Chain A
């Protein structure tokens, strides 16, 4: 099973209702491709860290997606987003592998409860007093 996160930023001049209809459209596409939307977050209007197309704000929408088989319609969804000029940015990330890896680590770290030693002991004299 794979999980994905799809996040996109919409032009703030687009009304909230329209954002919802847009989101539904994409959700439908994803569902058609045999994937399931596990959760959805609408972050609403947010300030952008830098202007995109002279806009200083954007509306963020996040979709969590779960898919069973190998095939999804995500490439098509991305393609559509690229063509939609109301979407300033989008990003799809596959999260299952990273989350699984993180979970595994937590398990192995728990029993002894000890702090992982990250630095070998002989490292001390190596870091010269560099400061900004």
Chain B
């Protein structure tokens, strides 16, 4: 995103799951979850990803399950 110079132009963030109509976030879908874990493997916050509260909650649960099963790292180092 370009730094806005006081202009009303910022790309409006839309919840990916609402847009794609995904309502069951599967913890086995590593590819999907990976989009929400940046390099440090933290869970991408809502304010950055634009995910709605409801879906962020499901996403969080799914990521934590996947971490437990070692499909996703807890941390990268």
Contacts and interface: CB of A to CB of B under 8 A. Distances in A.
Contacts of B70: 9, 48-50, 52, 58, 88-89
Contact of A115 (B12, B13, B18, B52): B18
Given A50-B74, A127-B47, A118 B24 contact: no
A1 interface: no
A106 interface: yes
Q: Which of A52, A118, A124 has the most CB of B within 10 A?
A: A118
Contacts, number: 62
A103 B21 CA distance: 11
B14 to A, nearest CB: 7
Nearest to A89: B69
B38 A116 contact: no
Interface string A40-52: 0000001011101
A118 B47 contact: no
A119 B19 CA distance: 12
Given A9-B69, A131-B1, A106 B14 contact: no
Interface of A: 7, 9, 46, 48-50, 52, 58, 60, 62, 88-89, 91, 93, 98-99, 101-103, 105-106, 109, 115-116, 118-119, 124, 127, 129-132
Sorted from nearest, which 4 A-B pairs have the closest CB atoms? A102-B23, A102-B24, A48-B70, A49-B73
